[in-house]
Chains A and B, each alone.
Chain A
Amino acid sequence: MSDMVELTGQSLAAALDGLEKGRFSSVELTRAHLDAVEALNPTLNAYITVTAEQALTQAAEADAVRARGEAGLLCGAPVAIKDLFCTEGVRTTAASRILSNFVPPYESTVTAQMKRDGAVSLGKTNLDEFAMGSSNMTSAFGAVQNPWRRRGDDSPLVPGGSSGGSASAVAARIALAATGTDTGGSIRQPASFCGIAGIKPTYGRCSRWGTVAFASSLDQAGPLARTVEDCAILLRSMAGFDPKDSTSVDVAVPDFRAAVGRSVKGMRIGIPAEYRAPGMPEEIERWWQQGIAWLRDAGCEIVDVSLPHTRYGLATYYIVAPAECSSNLARYDGVRFGERVEADSLDALYERSRAAGFGDEVKRRILIGTYVLSSGYYDAYYLKAQKVRSLILRDFTEAFGRVDALLTPTAPSAAFGLGEKMSDPVTMYLNDIFTVPASMAGVPGMSVPVGLDSAGLPLGLQLIGRPFDEETLFALGSALEKAAGFDHLPALRAGAVA
């Protein structure tokens, strides 16, 4: 057992180093992870599909490739893929009934690049249906459990969402790292809830091609991992220009890992006055102040800034994202792919297939999106939201004229109980209050675990950077990580007695 703990408990960086030094093979590393998945996934439900056989084949290939001296960036590292990335020949569900039998005949650009670099895929991780949610409760494949528990309380908690399966798997040590996607906070909020790191890069940094679309002007892929350095390693593989995505930006991908540990002395860090939510626990404020103190000690200059339209971010998001969702999800019509409910007329076939295939939250967002785009309401809602988005972007542009990055809390709470906050959609939406503004502005944001609340649950802080300046976030994130020394472990994890 101790061998397994050693294999699954290490960082991605350490695992790659161990593979290179021949301390263990990818087959051994992958098998240890698959054993841990088998032990823990029945409880966590972090994976929708486990591709054990394929993983072992890929691992054996990776070992052969490494033996030939041709190892790529991720060669032999077992990782998990959010079930929103199309994977050739492997069922891709978006956690929706309507795609429950969809087997893509092609591979997403992001996962193709990871394969190119030798990554071993353990399987496809659970998420909120079509990435719409902040708790992973909306999955058609069941809720995911957070591996963390409140001290002295065994009741299950949500992992956050929408990349809840990825975050839970990485925190529980049943994947070395995982891909996620973030539309309004879907990497950063679950990273914070599960005590791991995660970064949503600049919009345009990772190709959206082959990723099931939710809100195309916001969707962006990124890594979740247990260390800032591991995020840097995985992002380098995921990122890069792709002619197949018209919003992909043709800029070079830096060696993000080289920025990890880089000095942050003299950097100017903005503290936005508006990042305080009503009813936010005092502990979050306290960890925020602690984070400020750590960066000051590391030589940063702390600057008070104002992003006056922050409070309108969520309302703007809940017009723009549903509008784009209603348009993107029009393709699920029971004709070309997905579940079909037969009917006598084509319209009835559409209506019945979509009624049966989508869950409640997805239906709400399609209907809200249709409403705000409909004749007579477009100007009052959608056009207005597009104007407010302009002001939110301007807030960030002006702030970044004065500072190099911003430091805020990631989420207004720690992980909450399975099934809580479900009575009213708006209560759930408030989870994303601190993550949505950066999404609206397309700027990169990273969550780093810094400490525990009084119940023993992890809390993260968010760093927000200039467009295409993820390197500054990696430098600052690693400074925070070093100062925090976060080494707490979740109750459920590979090798721990359940």
Chain B
Amino acid sequence: MSLDAATIRRIARLARLGVGEAEIERLQTELGHIIGWVEQLGELDLDGVEPIAGVGHAALRLRADEVTDGDRVEAVLSNAPGRAGPFYAVPKVVE
């Protein structure tokens, strides 16, 4: 199985992952092979089976609605590749 080039470009765009034209053909084969392999799940009759997102040993907890952390601007920004004052800096988004 091979995924078509348009599909590779579409999912790369959705993932915001730059993929060069030279890589497309290799990814069509590699990803196609993986997808073809996982399609073995089609052999199973899954009618009436409940899906699970996890094993759910923990019951979701509630806590008091209060501030427990904050006022750590320098720590939060300490790894920012670009900053302007107490803000992250990014290329201009709004004209």
Contacts and interface: CB of A to CB of B under 8 A. Distances in A.
Interface of A: 101-103, 105-106, 202-204, 217, 243, 246-250, 309, 312, 315-316, 318-319, 326, 330, 333-340, 342-352, 354-356, 358, 363-364, 366-368, 370-371, 374, 381, 383-391, 393, 424-426, 441-442, 467-468
A408 B27 CA distance: 35
A167 to B, nearest CB: 26
A335 to B, nearest CB: 5
B33 to A, nearest CB: 6
Contacts of B10: 374
A335 B82 CA distance: 7
A349 B90 contact: yes
Interface of B: 3, 7-8, 10-12, 14-20, 27, 30-31, 33-35, 37-38, 40-42, 44, 46, 49-55, 57-58, 60-61, 63, 72, 75-76, 78-82, 88, 90-91, 93
B12 to A, nearest CB: 6
B54 A366 contact: no
Given A346-B90, A442-B54, A425 B81 contact: no
Contact of A338 (B19, B58, B79): B79
A307 to B, nearest CB: 14
Contacts, number: 168
A381 B11 CA distance: 15
B16 A333 contact: yes
A374 B11 contact: yes
Contacts of B30: 364, 425
Contacts of A339: 81
B78 to A, nearest CB: 5
Contacts of B20: 355
Contact of A371 (B18, B35, B37): B35
A247 B58 contact: yes
Contacts of A351: 16-18
A364 B34 contact: yes
Contact of A335 (B7, B41, B90): B90
B87 to A, nearest CB: 11
Contacts of B17: 351, 354-355, 358, 363, 366-367
Contacts of A243: 61, 63
B31 A368 contact: yes
B7 to A, nearest CB: 8
B52 A390 contact: yes
Contact of A336 (B33, B55, B60, B80): B80
Given A335-B88, A384-B41, A426-B37, A340 B50 contact: no
A442 B58 CA distance: 12
Given A344-B91, A387-B49, A246 B54 contact: no
Closest 9 interchain pairs by CB? Answer: A442-B55, A355-B18, A386-B51, A337-B79, A340-B81, A351-B18, A217-B54, A105-B75, A350-B16
B81 A337 contact: yes
Contacts of B18: 351-352, 354-356
B56 to A, nearest CB: 8
